[in-house]
Amino acid sequence: MDAVATGAGNNSLPCPGQAQRDGLCLHSTAQKQQHQPTPPLGRTSTATPEAGAIGRQDRKRKWVGGAGGHAGGGAGAAAGSGAGAGDDAGRAAGGAAAAASARGGRGRRLPVPHAVGRRPAAGGSVDKAWKELSNILSGIFCASLNFIDSTNTVTPTASFKPLGVANGTDHRLLRYAVLPREVVCTENLTPWKKLLPCGSKAGLAVLLKAERLFHSSYHSQAVHIRPICRDASCLAVSWELRQTLTVVFDSFTSGQGKKDWSLFKMFSRTLTDACPLASESKVYVDISPKNKEKQLLEVTPTPTSVHEAIVQGDKTTYAVYDLLSPVLFNTSRSLNVQLKWKRPEDSSELSTPIMHAQRYVSGYGLQTGEISTLIYNTHPYRAFPVILLETVPWYLRLYVHTLTIITKGKENKPSYMHYQPAQDRKRPHLLEMLIQLPANSATKITIQFERALLKWTEYPPDPNHGFYVSSSVLSALVPSVIAMKDVNVEESPLFTSLFPSSDGSSYFLRLYTEPLLVNLPTPDFSMPYNVICLTCTVVAVCYGSFYNLLTRTFHVEEPSRGGLAKRLANVIRRLRGVPPI
Amino acid sequence: MAAAVPAARWARAAAAALLLGCCGAVLAGGIQDQAEQFFKSGHTNNWAVLVCTSRFWFNYRHVANTLSVYRSVKRLGIPDSHIVLMLADDMACNPRNPKPATVFSHKNMELNVYGDDVEVDYRSYEVTVENFLRVLTGRIPPSTPRSKRLLSDDRSNILIYMTGHGGNGFLKFQDSEEITNVELADAFEQMWQKRRYNELLFIIDTCQGASMYERFYSPNIIALASSQVGEDSLSHQPDLGIGVHLMDRYTFYMLEFLEEVHPASQTNMNDLFQVCPKSLCVSTPGHRTDLFQRDPQNVLITDFFGSVRKVEIMTETVSLDRNLTGFESDPVCCLKRQLEISDKEREGKPQLHQRMGRKLKAAKGCIGNRTTKVC
């Protein structure tokens, strides 16, 4: 069952007879029934191939490479709001779901903002739609995405471009937000799995058990929605939903020092069949020979085919297991892909990527600090520009006059810069720069900040944990060392979504750096109680004594002497009110 | 003559008496039925609000408590769409958890109560007193998604389970705020006045938990607490592998008790009251039933922990129009079209309404069984 999301209130694609859920029109059709006048779902699936890791492809679900995304908490949302595709009434709320791309992971973020729409709407309705979208997504994915508000939403100008078929590129309709404190756990995986046509009951998704997936070095899940052409003539537009899951297993440490792995070792289960609703269901294993020597590794069972491609500038060979081919399950009911190394590798170093980045905060004390971003370009002879997007919360007051960009000892001036200062409690800092990275260099970008003191009600319940600064986004067209052949989209849609390339010589890369953890000056929250105790004690002791001193009178009492008669006389005199003898 | 008249009168009187007797018997039978019906619960749906109010790794046991009750309630039939689960901190994917994505309830890691199919509605910083009271009373901002709402009606039985750190008259939320027993009692009264529950079962597992139900004054509430005022609720056992206490005693024994319950079992509230005697729990569990109209002996555990699914069997078949698109997902649309078609056929109005009524009933059943909530 495919699900297609259209914006709420989208008049051109009305929702009569279609299940409505929380303002999002979700229309379900079975993919086989082509006669229905409903937009079919084109889902493709890709994965990041890593050396020796599996890339899984399945027509129904899609895993997108977390381009260098780093481990660390974070959740972000960016959605292009604006008029929904083909909206006559001009209701801007319709476009809320348009091209929304949600990604979650330890390093969870939802990028994509793009305005898809023929009639750009006013900023106010975009914000309203944005708020509604984040609330809906928080309900669907069991995450606190409802914390997205104006204090962590920005409108980037250059970092993001619309995906798919887009009519307008007005960046004012774009919204981007990150929630770095969010945790990704099973409760986020459960609804993600429920969006899949076969759920986790058949096909490749049977491998997705939470206990194994979260026992890993890196975990990222994403949901991308974009409009695509329904056919070659592009007369009608349909929505494409891509779901991606990226997990990095540390099989070396958990496998007793051996680099051999198998599906059973990683997921504690094997594949038994393909999802009946899938039109394509494949497992890709990267078996590229290193150093162009003879085969060092061996995969069992025999793959159905072998595919060669140039991916991210490197020539890679994939062993393909097509779950829909009847040959695969002939011999045994279950498929357990295993990879064995024929002889132990001496020192196989992973080649460093052409662009990688790092970010850290330095300084001492609780007043000032400095954020530094290091970007490396390891290409031997090509320079290329990169767009850096930094979003810093308002309580770290950036001093833009201290912004320095240094490459190879010299100052590097950005060719484009967009800075939007923060407003206390209203919006965060936004800094976007286009920086040219020379070949084989490291660029250091530093900016100083001052920490603000929050009001005592604004602190979270665990303020001593620290406050997170969301990761910065680096977008670049990285030139590849080897010329890439332009791949036809129609022939292999899976591969083009794996590694989209605009021309034969470079590929697009989006990097997310680490989020930062910064301590703010935190008050002692037990002080109100202490103050009350101390004040009351002081008042009671000091003022009380003083009052007593001032108002207490003393009188001397004579000890009573004398016999019974005198005592009796005294009693009578006291009764009469006369002073006693 | 004089003798015949009294005889006739006696006969008439006897006939009248016989008639009255028969009527009386029938009436008594009817009253018996009515009385029986009165003592049955009369609820049509079940909801559960499970709240863990503690933050930080060393309060692992409170999350495990809440997840154990969540697991039992799901197992006995309440779907995720009818459960509002609030966990104030994330233990399963906490960096200090040696086994990620698991929350264990027993040492030696026997039972993973987190499971593979968990949906947490309010998590982390969202668990606040304000959000909890808004969920209970229904005064929620309009953009709140459905999974975060308590959409109960006057025929709902609600189970409310709370755990965390508490004191005499208050329960601490996330180490920064607290909810008092007066607030809680007022929230329940608001729920009663807005007809948001039929019967309510309130279970609390904190220190001095009995103080939290002292102030209730709304009808149809049963309350259970793990300890009396002045007593502390104690935790069960630490696990040396994980390094923290895994569960609290009261909920541990309650989980053991609930594992024996299945959707058709006839265990009643009195069994639940005996669940953790002082010898096992060290504290004295307490309960309060004076606000409840039925006898706890007649109240089944599954009235609160399980879920009622009403199935209506129809004897007539409903013909489906082949030309309809997307009927499976929305029978109401089909009905509208049927209405249009029948208008064309010029059917009589009362017959049409009857048919509509029956079809709506069928559709309701269809929708109810078919909606699968994603979260």
In this prediction, residue A424 carries a pLDDT of 94
Residue in this structure with the two tokens 């965390």, named with its chain if needed: B164
- When pLDDT is averaged across residues B44-54 and rounded to a whole number, the result is 95
Interface touch B100/A214, C-beta < 8 Å: yes
pLDDT, greater one: A495 or B326: A495
In this prediction, residue A138 carries a pLDDT of 94
Label the pairing between strands A20-21 and A24-29. antiparallel
In this prediction, residue B301 carries a pLDDT of 92
pLDDT band of B219, cuts 50, 70, 90: very high
Q: Three-class SS of residue B319?
A: coil
CB neighbour list of residue B24: distance below 8 Å, 6 or more residues apart: none
Burial class (CB in 10 A: 0-12, 13-18, 19+), B282: middle
| pLDDT above 90 (res A401) | yes
Q: Which of A45-54, A284-293, A456-465 has the lowest mean pLDDT?
A: A45-54
- When pLDDT is averaged across residues B18-43 and rounded to a whole number, the result is 64
Residue in this structure with the two tokens 């939320």, named with its chain if needed: B173
Residue of B nearest to A141 (CA): B375
In this prediction, residue B356 carries a pLDDT of 60
Tokens of A518: 């910064």
In this prediction, residue A93 carries a pLDDT of 28
| pLDDT above 50 (res A81) | no
Structural element, H or E, at residue B305: helix B302-305
Burial class (CB in 10 A: 0-12, 13-18, 19+), A63: buried
| pLDDT above 80 (res B298) | yes
Q: How far is B294 from chain A (nearest CA, A)?
A: 37
Tokens of B37: 């019906």
For residue B115, list chain A residues with Cβ-Cβ distance below 8 A.
186
pLDDT, greater one: B138 or A580: B138
Please say whether the dihedral angle defined by the alpha carbons of residues B55, B59, B61 and B65, taken in this order, is positive or negative.
negative
Q: Which of A93-102, A247-256, A470-479, B283-292 has the lowest mean pLDDT?
A: A93-102
In this prediction, residue B109 carries a pLDDT of 67
| pLDDT above 70 (res A349) | no
Which backbone phi and psi does A54 adopt, to 5 degrees? -95, 145
Interface of B with A in 109-138 (CB under 8 A): 112, 114-121, 123-126
Q: Three-class SS of residue A116?
A: coil
- Give the neighbor-by-neighbor strand order of the sheet with A54-58: A54-58, A281-286, A314-322, A305-311
pLDDT band of A72, cuts 50, 70, 90: very low
Residue A233's alpha-carbon distances to A87, A230, A237, A453, in angstroms, are 21, 8, 10, 58
* Interatomic CA distance for residues A178 and A173, integer angstroms: 17
- When pLDDT is averaged across residues B259-284 and rounded to a whole number, the result is 90
Which of A55, A114, A144 lies closest to B120, judged by CA? A144
Torsion of CA B178, B181, B187, B190, to 10 degrees: -160
Q: What is the ipTM of this complex?
A: 0.74
pLDDT band of B19, cuts 50, 70, 90: confident
pLDDT band of B172, cuts 50, 70, 90: very high
- Total beta-carbon pairs less than 8 A apart between chain A and chain B: 128
pLDDT band of B64, cuts 50, 70, 90: very high
| pLDDT above 80 (res B3) | no
For residue B134, list chain A residues with Cβ-Cβ distance below 8 A.
none
In this prediction, residue B22 carries a pLDDT of 63
Residue B80 near residue B74 (C-beta atoms within 8 A): yes
Residue of B nearest to A457 (CA): B176
* Most confident segment among A55-59, A92-96, A439-443, A575-579: A439-443
Query: Which pLDDT tens digit goes with each residue over B73-125?
Result: 999 999 999 999 999 999 999 999 998 999 998 766 688 999 889 999 999 99
Q: Three-class SS of residue A20?
A: strand
Residue in this structure with the two tokens 């929050």, named with its chain if needed: A454
Tokens of A294: 């003879």
* Most confident segment among A248-262, A557-571, B211-225: B211-225
pLDDT band of A286, cuts 50, 70, 90: confident
Structural element, H or E, at residue A376: strand A368-377
Nearest-5° angle of CA B41, CA B45, CA B51? 105
pLDDT band of A307, cuts 50, 70, 90: confident
In this prediction, residue A84 carries a pLDDT of 29
In this prediction, residue A526 carries a pLDDT of 87
Interface touch A462/B145, C-beta < 8 Å: no
Structural element, H or E, at residue A448: strand A441-451
In this prediction, residue A89 carries a pLDDT of 29
Query: Which pLDDT tens digit goes with each residue over A100-123?
Result: 444 444 433 444 333 223 344 556
In this prediction, residue B320 carries a pLDDT of 80
- When pLDDT is averaged across residues B32-48 and rounded to a whole number, the result is 72
Interface touch A187/B120, C-beta < 8 Å: yes
pLDDT band of A482, cuts 50, 70, 90: low
In this prediction, residue A75 carries a pLDDT of 39
Report chain B's mean pLDDT, rounded to a whole number: 83
| pLDDT above 80 (res A495) | no
| pLDDT above 80 (res A451) | yes
Q: How far is A507 from chain B (nearest CA, A)?
A: 34
Query: Which pLDDT tens digit goes with each residue over B320-357?
Result: 877 655 544 455 555 565 556 555 554 445 555 566 66
Return the active site residues of B.
Answer: 165, 207
* Interatomic CA distance for residues A233 and A235, integer angstroms: 6
In this prediction, residue A23 carries a pLDDT of 32
In this prediction, residue A300 carries a pLDDT of 84
In this prediction, residue A569 carries a pLDDT of 87
pLDDT band of A504, cuts 50, 70, 90: low
Report chain A's mean pLDDT, rounded to a whole number: 76
Interface of B with A in 36-55 (CB under 8 A): 55
Residue of B nearest to A211 (CA): B101
For residue A18, list chain B residues with Cβ-Cβ distance below 8 A.
326, 329-330
Query: Which pLDDT tens digit goes with each residue over A127-155?
Result: 999 999 999 999 999 999 999 999 999 99
Interface touch B117/A190, C-beta < 8 Å: yes
In this prediction, residue A65 carries a pLDDT of 29
Interface of B with A in 137-156 (CB under 8 A): 143-148
Q: Which of A81-90, A273-282, B277-286 has the lowest mean pLDDT?
A: A81-90
Interface touch B119/A190, C-beta < 8 Å: yes
- When pLDDT is averaged across residues B3-20 and rounded to a whole number, the result is 71
Residue A44's alpha-carbon distances to A58, A223, A231, A279, B31, in angstroms, are 7, 12, 15, 10, 66
Query: Which pLDDT tens digit goes with each residue over A83-101?
Result: 322 233 223 222 233 334 4
What percent of chain A is predicted at pLDDT more than 90?
Answer: 40
* Interatomic CA distance for residues A248 and A53, integer angstroms: 8
In this prediction, residue A488 carries a pLDDT of 58
* Interatomic CA distance for residues A77 and A522, integer angstroms: 29
* Interatomic CA distance for residues A79 and A8, integer angstroms: 14
| DSSP symbol at A132 | H
Per-residue b or e along A132-169, where b marks 16 or more CB atoms closer than 10 Å to that residue's CB: bbbbbbbbbbbbbbbbbeebbbbbbbbbbebbbbbbbe
* Most confident segment among A476-485, A556-565, B35-44, B192-201: B192-201
CB neighbour list of residue B179: distance below 8 Å, 6 or more residues apart: B129, B132, B133, B170, B171, B173
Residue B86 near residue B51 (C-beta atoms within 8 A): yes
